[in-house]
Amino acid sequence: MTTALPLAGRTALVTGGAGGLGAAICRALAEAGASVAVGYNRSAEAAQALAASLPRLGGARHLAVAAPVTDSASLAGTASVMGAEYGRCDILVNCAGTTRFVPHAELDALDDALFDEVLATNVRGPFAMVRAMLPLLRAASVPGLVVNISSIAAVTAMGSNVAYCASKAALDNMTRSLARALAPQVRVVSVSPGLADTEFVKSMDPDWRDLQAERTPLRRLANPEEVALAVLACATHLPFTTGAVLPVDGGRPLV
Ligand SMILES: NC(=O)c1ccc[n+]([C@@H]2O[C@H](COP(=O)([O-])OP(=O)(O)OC[C@H]3O[C@@H](n4cnc5c(N)ncnc54)[C@H](OP(=O)(O)O)[C@@H]3O)[C@@H](O)[C@H]2O)c1
């Protein structure tokens, strides 16, 4: 890194930006000097509070913006806010995601409505965001960057429900398709966390969390900040990387 603010002058949009991982990603990008748009669906107030709390380094300007990823038509509005405020989008982080715990063997409990919601949010949503933001990503000062927040569940097929695992595998596949299709103007990368110690995960059964940590070669869960560092690295240290899936999982699939 050649400067203390490697993302000075760059702009980023993080969907699900007020969530557990999203907030850490917004902060890491802002601390690197980027102007950050905190995308929200239901959490407008939290997104506004986060945007107001981010460090404004090197003239950065942060804002909160509605980015309801399942409402494709409304994403033109998200893009026009980004366009009016910044004129381009250097980094799009697709972090919005949804799930609910359904044991994999209980097929009747995973109804069509939940299946469709998971796929619409976790797969169609990131696609719709890229489609809406493409002119602004192409206007980026260096190749535009899309980071899709995937999950270890894409490879292990262990996760909150069958549809969630399938959605993240589809997302990683889409990362490769879009990386090929959008090169050379836009790079597309997946960052694939294992279980991360967000507030939501901290609220789960401690014995179950401890078991997940024990089954991880590095013997702990990820910190949200470590996932954020991987996103930052895609923007700062991996300029020749596209179409790749970057694991941040402590080696969990090895066990
Ligand atoms: N935490 C983990 O251990 C872990 C591990 C691997 C992968 N991940 C992935 O990391 C991402 C973030 O997870 P998290 O743990 O930070 O979860 P979280 O705290 O529950 O945040 C989820 C975010 O997604 C947003 N969202 C949900 N539906 C949306 C929609 N239709 N339109 C726009 N935004 C929507 C929410 O926004 P609003 O609140 O504004 O509605 C929220 O900010 C997800 O893609 C998840 O699959 C998490």
CB 145 within 8 A of CB 92: yes
Phi/psi of residue 144, each to 5°? -60, 155
pLDDT tens-digit series, residues 78-91: 999 999 999 999 99
pLDDT score for 180: 98
**Atom 5 in ligand 1: which residue has the minimum CA distance?**
195
SS3 for 136? helix
The domain locations on the chain are 11-243
The whole-angstrom separation of Cα 109 and Cα 78 is 35
Q: Both tokens of residue 39?
A: 């995308």
What mean pLDDT is predicted for residues 184-195? 98
CA dihedral 17, 21, 26, 29 (to 10 degrees): -150
* Domain 11-243 architecture: 3-Layer(aba) Sandwich (3.40)
CB 205 within 8 A of CB 234: no
Asked if residue 141 has pLDDT above 90, the reply is no
Mean pLDDT of the chain: 97
Is 86 known to be catalytic?
no
Q: What percent of the chain has pLDDT over 70?
A: 99
- Reported as a pLDDT band with limits 50, 70 and 90, residue 4 is confident
Asked if residue 54 has pLDDT above 70, the reply is yes
Asked if residue 59 has pLDDT above 60, the reply is yes
CA dihedral 126, 123, 26, 242 (to 10 degrees): -70
Instruction: Provide residues with CB under 6 Å of ligand 1.
Output: 15-16, 18-22, 40-43, 67-70, 95-98, 121, 149, 151, 193, 195-196, 198, 200-201
Distance 2 CA to ligand 1 centre (A): 33
Q: What is the pTM of this model?
A: 0.98
Q: Which of 93, 175, 185 is nearest to 134 (CA)?
A: 185
